Structures are given as structure tokens and as C-alpha cells.
């Protein structure tokens, strides 16, 4: 059984709320006077702030009725206004500063305004999602039957979110998110039999184009060949280069300690100055490097296993 349909609908509703508010705020910004950029934006900024606050309040207000229907009444009702306030101040001067920075660097006025719009849209989506998640968590904590929460991710999503799909957290753990992240959470109670969508479940529902856009061409190919999705994504955190096989190759430092999936298979380690743990002396290749080096698919599979992407 997958996560409750209501939890998925809740996630979709939040994403739609954030997208609608972001479009409205972007329209306000896009109407600035190119000849009087600062004055016109300062006059419009209060309207943008109202739209963002309204979007936040709508997102936070949806937490209580959703949770009441999902797990019953709590020992207190969610204060949507407090959830909105907890997200902090609105950085409405930043799009203006970004636009001015682009102008100073020689960009056209039109492109500078677009840069400011992109930032404003990202901030709007993030603030609305954060207000909703704060309200969700407060409402879950107010319900003793809820003992943890599960991350709900809907594709298409970024690679970082996909590898966290279905992960269960205690309420003492913060919700990992990035700008524009629209992931939500589903309450979990003892005895709940549903099984969350895992990263592999999301990947199987993604089109080849979505996989390439999310994980890169080589990463998508590695996943199609059976590579562990988390290993492919996490490898990119420690990307580097090294001289190997008489050429410069792309490597990663992720998973190369004795505790890592790759490091656990190695026998030789070296201590890196300033590093806490010794790392495998043999560099760990990135998936794209493996496909560049491989003579055929069987060779690629052997290298994927050797480098810890396949079990």
C-alpha cells in the first residue's frame, strides 16, 4: 500500500499554492518601470509582500483540516499565523539588488529584470512551502498518535529529494529542504500498514527524459543498468579529478572511507590532511567516467560494481 492518497493530494495542493503565488508575485515584479527600477519596485513591493503572506497563510491553514481528517483532532489547533511568522522576514530588496548587480556587470536591463524575477519566484515558493511544513509539523506533534513523519516526494523532483523519498524521521529531526523544494510530510502512527514510495519507485515512474534531466545522462544510464540510485546521487557531492589510467578522470570522495560502500571493499587507505577518516587510496570513479572508459556494457557493469554503484 502506497502513502495515503490524501497525503499525496496534500503535497500537490501545496505545490499548486506555491506555483500560483509565485506567478502572481513575478507578475508584480515584471511590471516595474525599466527607467525607474528602484522607485517602481519600492512602490510595488508591498503588494508582492501581501501576495506572499496570503500564499503562506493559505498553505499553513490547510494543515489543520488535513490532519484532522487524516488522524483526528489534536490537543490543540495549528496557529497558521504563527507558522507564517516563523519563516522570517521577506527579502524583498534582494531582487532589486540582483538586478542592479547584473546591470553593473554589463547585462541588459531586460535580462537583469529576469534575473531578479527568478530569485523572487524561488523565494516565494520556498517561503510558502516552509510555512506549510511548519504548520504540518506543529499539527502532527499535537497529535500523540503520530510518532513520526515520512517524506512525501512527487516526481518530477530534484535528485537530492528523490533519494530521500519515503524516509521516516522523528520530530526531533529537521526537514531537509532546498530552495523551491515542495516536498511535504505524511504522519505515521503505530500500526499503519502503508509503505511509502521509495526513490526506486519514483525513478520507475519517470520518463527517460526526466531521468536524464534529473540525474544526468551517465547517471540515468547507470540507474537503468541497475546502479544504486542513492550512490549515483551522493557521488556528486564529492566530485573531483584524478590522474588514473594515464588520463585525467572524474572521481568522487563520497563513500570512500572504511564505512562507505566503496571503501568497505578496499584494502588500502591513506590519510588525507585535515580529514577525519582515512580514505581508499584508489580513486572512486564517477558514473560518467565509467561509461567513458568502458569498452562495452559488461565492462561498464564490472566498473559500476567495483566502484560501489551496484550491489
Domain extent listing, the chain: 5-200, 207-306
- Residue 152: φ, ψ to 5°: -105, 120
Percentage of the chain beyond pLDDT 70 is: 80
**257 — phi, psi (to 5°)?**
-80, 175
Contact of 122 with 179, CB cutoff 8 Å = yes
Tell me the pLDDT tens digit for each residue of 91-140.
Answer: 889 999 999 999 999 999 999 999 999 999 999 999 999 899 888 988 88
Q: What is the pLDDT of residue 118?
A: 93
Among the listed residues 76, 188, 90, the one whose alpha carbon sits nearest the alpha carbon of residue 130: 90
* 44 pLDDT tier (thresholds 50, 70, 90): very high
SS3 at position 275 = coil
Instruction: Provide φ and ψ at 135, rounded to 5°.
Output: -65, -40
The confidence score (pLDDT) of residue 1 equals: 46
Amino acid at each position: 500500500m502506497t502513502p495515503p492518497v490524501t497525503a499525496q493530494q496534500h503535497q500537490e495542493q501545496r505545490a499548486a499554492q506555491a506555483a500560483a503565488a509565485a506567478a502572481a508575485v513575478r507578475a508584480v515584479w515584471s511590471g516595474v518601470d525599466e527607467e525607474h527600477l528602484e522607485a517602481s519596485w519600492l512602490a510595488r513591493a508591498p503588494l508582492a509582500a501581501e501576495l506572499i503572506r496570503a500564499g503562506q497563510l493559505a498553505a499553513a491553514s490547510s494543515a489543520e483540516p488535513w490532519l484532522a481528517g487524516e488522524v483526528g483532532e489534536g490537543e490543540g489547533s495549528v496557529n497558521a499565523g504563527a507558522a507564517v511568522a516563523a519563516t522570517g522576514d521577506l527579502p524583498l530588496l534582494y531582487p532589486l539588488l540582483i538586478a542592479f548587480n547584473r546591470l553593473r556587470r554589463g547585462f541588459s536591463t531586460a535580462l537583469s529584470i529576469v534575473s531578479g524575477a527568478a530569485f523572487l519566484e524561488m523565494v516565494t515558493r520556498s517561503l510558502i512551502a516552509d510555512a506549510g511544513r511548519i504548520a504540518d509539523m506543529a499539527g502532527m506533534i499535537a497529535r500523540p498518535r503520530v510518532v513520526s513523519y515520512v517524506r512525501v516526494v512527487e516526481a518530477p523532483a530534484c535528485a537530492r529529494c528523490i533519494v530521500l523519498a519515503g524516509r521516516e524521521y522523528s520530530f526531533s529531526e529537521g526537514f531537509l529542504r532546498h530552495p523551491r523544494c515542495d516536498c511535504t510530510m505524511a504522519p505515521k502512527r503505530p500500526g499503519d500498514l502503508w509503505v511509502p514510495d521509495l526513490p526506486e519507485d519514483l525513478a520507475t515512474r519517470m520518463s527517460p527524459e526526466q531521468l536524464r534531466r534529473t540525474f544526468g545522462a551517465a547517471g540515468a544510464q547507470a540507474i537503468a543498468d541497475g546502479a544504486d540510485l542513492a550512490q549515483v546521487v551522493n557521488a556528486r557531492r564529492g566530485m573531483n579529478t584524478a590522474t588514473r589510467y594515464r588520463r585525467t578522470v572524474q572521481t568522487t570522495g563520497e563513500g570512500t572511507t572504511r564505512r562507505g560502500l566503496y571503501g568497505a571493499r578496499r584494502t588500502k587507505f591513506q590519510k588525507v590532511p585535515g580529514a577525519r577518516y582515512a580514505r581508499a587510496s584508489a580513486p572512486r570513479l564517477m558514473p560518467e567516467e565509467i561509461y567513458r572508459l568502458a569498452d562495452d556494457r559488461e565492462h561498464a557493469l564490472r566498473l559500476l560494481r567495483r566502484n560501489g554503484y551496484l550491489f
